[in-house]
Structure 1
Amino acid sequence: MTTAFADEAVRIHRAAGLSDRVIGEAVGARPSTVRDWLGGRTSPTGMRARRVAELAEITDRLARVMDTRYIPVWMVKPVEALDDRAPVELIAAGQVRDVARLISSLESPGAA
């Protein structure tokens, strides 16, 4: 039986175009585990479920400020404003707030 967290993983995969590898890197899971979530065989739990929810929020916000086709690139590309680290690395390290702050500056360019 799957959970809403597995459904979120499916939504991230489809809507934001993130691969099982990128989702796995962000949430601390092997790509094969993510494929199990995407296939409805298992569901993320614990910290992985929390990271899925955080990743969903990040990708939802990104979809409001950029073409969704670019989200997979943006997630793995080193970003100067993040000390040349990729957003997916920071999310994996639990530093989702740093990524969220950067997205806030994209949402409100004059506010930064």
Structure 2
Amino acid sequence: MSNAIARRLEAIQTKGAMRSSDVANVLNVRPETVSRWNKGKALPHASTEKQLLELEFVIDKLADIYEPHDARLWLFARQRLLDDQVPAELIQQGRVDEVLASVNQLLDGVHL
């Protein structure tokens, strides 16, 4: 994995135990597209790249709290701090700031 996008994908996989299909679902692309990015055969569109970087940022922060598989489960489960919404779906909708706010609350030790 030599390209920058591949390194980001590797970080997401390592810290968040996310599969290519998980990343594809969050970013609204096909798993084959993620595979092409990983191999350096294609690059994401600018808006998708921004979403990918946001996802990596969230995963990186979650890694301070959770083991990789627990971070993945947190992303795909309803969360009380997000009014029972699913973080991955919020990221998909471009609402990453709400997700980051709840992660920051977790990091600060604020639990409801």
Bin for the TM-score computed over the shorter chain: 0.7 to 0.9
What code does the residue aligned with 1:108 have? D
In 2 relative to 1, CA 71–99 (structure 1 residues): closer, same or farther, beyond 3 Å? same
Partner of 2:43: 43
The equivalences for 1:1-112 within 5 A come to 3-110=3-110
Gaps of 5+ in 2: none
**What is the TM-score normalised by the length of structure 2?**
0.86
Contact 2:51 2:91 in 1 (8 A): yes
Contact 1:23 1:34 in 2 (8 A): yes
Give deviations 1:9-67, integer Å, cap 9, x for gaps. 23212332111122112222111111222233222231110001100100000000112
**What is the TM-score normalised by the length of structure 1?**
0.86
Q: Kindly state the Cα deviation for residue 83 of structure 1 after the two structures are TM-superposed.
A: 2.4
The aligned length equals 111
Which of structure 1's runs of 4+ aligned residues deviate more than 6 A?
none
Gaps of 5+ in 1: none
- RMSD of Structure 2 on Structure 1 (CA): 2.0
In 2 relative to 1, CA 75–57 (structure 1 residues): closer, same or farther, beyond 3 Å? same
Which structure features the higher share of helix residues? 1
SS of 1:109 mapped into structure 2: coil
SS of 1:43 mapped into structure 2: coil
Give deviations 1:62-84, integer Å, cap 9, x for gaps. 00011222111111111122222
